[in-house]
Every structure is written in structure tokens, then in C-alpha cells.
A and B are shown apart, each in its own frame.
Chain A
Amino acid sequence: MSLVNQIFKFKFFNFLPLFLLFFISFNGNSVLDLNFFSINLHYILVYYWTLRKPETLGYSLIFLSGIISDVIYGFPLGINSLSLLVIAGVASYVRVVTVRITLINDWISFLPALLFANFVYFFSLYFSNYNIDYLFLFKNSVFTFIFYPILWGLFSLILNLTKP
């Protein structure tokens, strides 16, 4: 019984990031907009799991969740996918070059990932003739960066639970 429980727990926590990825895409919670600040959960989720356990979220699934977000938010198809894949790309790069896993390393390397992703986002929207509140995008990026350690801690807990 205990073995069955352990397998179930392992499977559950292994699929949790994937479940979260699609839940926030379908539910339109990719950008958590609270009264005073907003956080891009999608970016943090994709960055953390591509960096720490890349087999959890495949590139095809990241691409698909981006397409879903585009449809839900009413953006031209491909914009969110591209920025998420850029985040995943930077995370893959950082994974290859880093040896030690520390919060500070992850946090600092998250900054260029955010910058690249937002540049792609801005450029794609400009190319598609879409106007958005760029000040909101800037504030969102700042708070996404600030809140990264909190979600890093939460995801690290989940990551520990996926270890047999």
C-alpha cells in the first residue's frame, strides 16, 4: 500500500508542473493581475522547470500552452509561444553553463531571460499592429523578477517531492 501511495505521490508531483502550465493557459491566469502588482506565472514556471528538470515540460507543450494563451488573451497566434520558447532557450543555455544550483544564480540569470522574452513580445506585437499598455508590461516584468524567489522556493519543494 505504501509503495502504491509513493508511486501515486511521485506521479502526481511529476505531472503537477505540466498540469499548472495548461491550467494557467486555459484559465487565463498566465499573468496574475493583482491590484498593486502583477506577475507572469507562465515565465517563472517555464524558466524554473526548463532549468531544473527539462523533461517535465517538453518544448512542444510549452509551444502549445503559448498558443492557448494567445487565443485566450486575443493576441495573434505565436506571440506567447515565441516568448515562452525564448525563456526556455535562455534557461537551457544557463543549464548548460552552470554547475552549482543556487537561488542567486537562477535569479540573476532570469533577468536576461525576461529581457529577451519581453523584447520578443514587444517586437511581435509591434509587428502585428497591436497596442498594449507597455508601462504595465514593464511593471509586470519588474514584479515577476522580484517574486521569482518565492516561486523558486515553492517549485523546489515540488521538485524534491518528485525525487524517488
Chain B
Amino acid sequence: MQTSREDFGIVVRSAFLSKGTQKRFSLTIFIIISILFIFLETFDLKPLSFVRSVLKDTIYRGSLIVSSPSKFTNNFKNSFTSHIQLYDNYSKLKEENNQLKTKISKSNFLELENFQLKKLLADQVKSKSNFLSARVMLDKQSPYLKSFIINMGSNKNLKNGMTVMDGPNFIGRIVDVNYFSSRVLLITDFNSKIPVVVEPLAKHAILSGHGAIEPTLEYLPENHNIKSGNKVYTSGKGGIFSPGIPIGEAKIENEIIKVLLYSDLSQITFVNVNIGNLDNK
């Protein structure tokens, strides 16, 4: 019995403590360094943040170079398929154009009516938002974390928590700022919880990501009467995000209220970062 325990000890020592051929350090040293790294991540000290920022910026640039051939192949494939589908697209667009033409006349009337009503209410809504446009640098589609990297960081005064939009639509917030780059956590991620309001019923809820394409509405009041097609906006509760930014439409599936996003998160190239709402504080 004792011999087998000794054998086990020898094997473990050999596997974890010996350096092996052409190796300067043992495995245990690197395991300890890794644990130290994880532990240090919980500290937010300036020198540590600076080192992390430099390291991440360097790796993002490296990744940009390494992934350029696959990016080129994807672009080529997309352009090839879009060429093949040219005629189908043309027919669809023609049909869509006819439908839109009929709708335009209706919308002109509504626009005019809206303008007059606003005047009547003396609605003086002025946006204090200040936007910065950024390009999506890396979009790795991680199976675990739904996020991407944009090409701006603390060099453009970006801060954690800032709102990120695709056109007028809310898509996420900044969670990690480096000097030249930042990470945007998308609303579909597990860690994303956004206070929202569902119109026209004005019901408050929390939009929770689950890693899937459609996030869901949680913490709704009982008998909420929300129907498919109801619009979802940011509520601005908590003061982190501006209120009234469009997100998507409610879609009820098996009694779960999903939100069909206005933006296709896999097709984003440029984003707007709202730097105004945090700067004003």
C-alpha cells in the first residue's frame, strides 16, 4: 500500500515538478503564475490596468493580422454569393420599392401630423448626447462571451458603461477600455441585464441576454398584457443609459417574451458610442 503511494508521489513529482527536456520551468510554476493572474484581475490598480491595457492592445493587433486571411476569405465568399443572388435580390427589391412608394405617401402625412402635434405640445426635446463613431476591429463570435472589440479606447475618452449603438438602435455597452481599443458587451450576452420599458403599455422590465440571438424580458409585472410587436426601449432607470433608445420588438414564443432586435449583431461594422451621458455627470 505504502509502495503504491510512493509510486504515485514519484509520478506526480515527475509530471508537475520536473522541468523536462528543453524546458526551463516546471508546470507548477506556470500554474501558480496563472492563479496569480486570475487573482490580480480582481484588483483595479493603475499600474496593473496599464499593463493589462498594453497587453490586450498588442494581442488585438496581432489577432487582427492573423485573422486577416480568414476575413478576406469570408468577404470573398460573401461577395461571390451576393453576385449569384443578384437577380433574386433585384426582383425582391423591385417589389419592396413598390410597397415603399405607397407607404411614403402615408408616412409624409404622418410626419406632418407629428410635427404639428409636437408644436402643439411645445415639445422641446433636445438631445444632449455626444456620439463618437468607431469601427469594429475584432468580432470573434466567442461561444461564451457575446462581445466585440472597437478601435477606440481611453485615447478617445471612452469609459466603462458607455452606451453603444448601431445607428439609432441600442446594442450594448463598453465593459473593458484599453488605450487603443475597447470591448463592447452585447445585449445578447449572459452578463447583460438592461432596464427597459415596453411600449405602448409602459411596462418596465429587465432585458436579459442568454447567449442566443434573441434576449428575453424578465421581471415583468403580473398580467402585463404584452403582445408580439410591442416596442422595447431603454428605460434609463439607474441612470446608466439614456432613456428611449430603441432596442427591438417583443416576440412571444412558448410564453417566453423574447426581443427581436432591430440590429443584426453579426453584421455590424461601425458603431456609435454615446460619450455624452457619462461626461455630463
Interface residues of A (CB under 8 A from B): 22-23, 26-28, 31, 33, 38, 54-55, 58-60, 62-63, 66-68, 71-79, 81-82, 85-86, 88-89, 92-93, 95-97, 124, 127-128, 130-133, 136-137, 140
Contacts and interface: CB of A to CB of B under 8 A. Distances in A.
Interface stretch (B97-105, B134-142, B221-229): B134-142
B211 interface: yes
B30 interface: yes
A38 B27 contact: no
Interface in B37-56: 37-38, 40-42, 52, 55-56
Contact of A59 (B30, B41, B66, B142): B30
Contact of A85 (B30, B41, B63, B66): B30
Given A77-B38, A82-B34, A93-B12, A136 B141 contact: no
Given A58-B23, A72-B59, A96 B145 contact: no
7 contacts: A31-B142, A33-B141, A74-B185, A85-B31, A89-B31, A92-B16, A136-B211
Contact of B190 (A81, A124, A133): A133
Contact of A74 (B24, B36, B176, B210): B176
Contact of A31 (B16, B62, B143): B143
B129 to A, nearest CB: 26
Chain A residues touching B, majority SS: helix
| Chain B interface size, under 10 / 10 to 19 / 20 to 34 / 35 or more | 35 or more
Given A131-B191, A137-B144, 15 more contacts: A26-B59, A33-B141, A54-B23, A55-B20, A59-B25, A59-B30, A78-B33, A82-B31, A85-B27, A85-B34, A88-B27, A96-B11, A96-B14, A133-B143, A140-B143
A28 B141 contact: yes
A124 B34 CA distance: 10
B60 interface: yes
B70 interface: yes
B30 A63 contact: yes
Interface of B: 11-12, 14-16, 20-27, 29-31, 33-38, 40-42, 52, 55-56, 59-60, 62-63, 66-67, 70, 138, 140-145, 147, 175-176, 183, 185, 190-191, 210-211
Contacts of B210: 133
Contacts of B140: 27-28, 72-73
A54 B27 CA distance: 12
Most A CB within 10 A of own CB, among B41, B56, B175, B210: B41
B142 A77 contact: no
A73 B190 CA distance: 14
A86 B32 CA distance: 11
Contacts of B70: 27
Contacts of B14: 92, 96
B34 A63 contact: yes
Nearest to B184: A74
A143 B36 CA distance: 31
B27 A132 contact: no
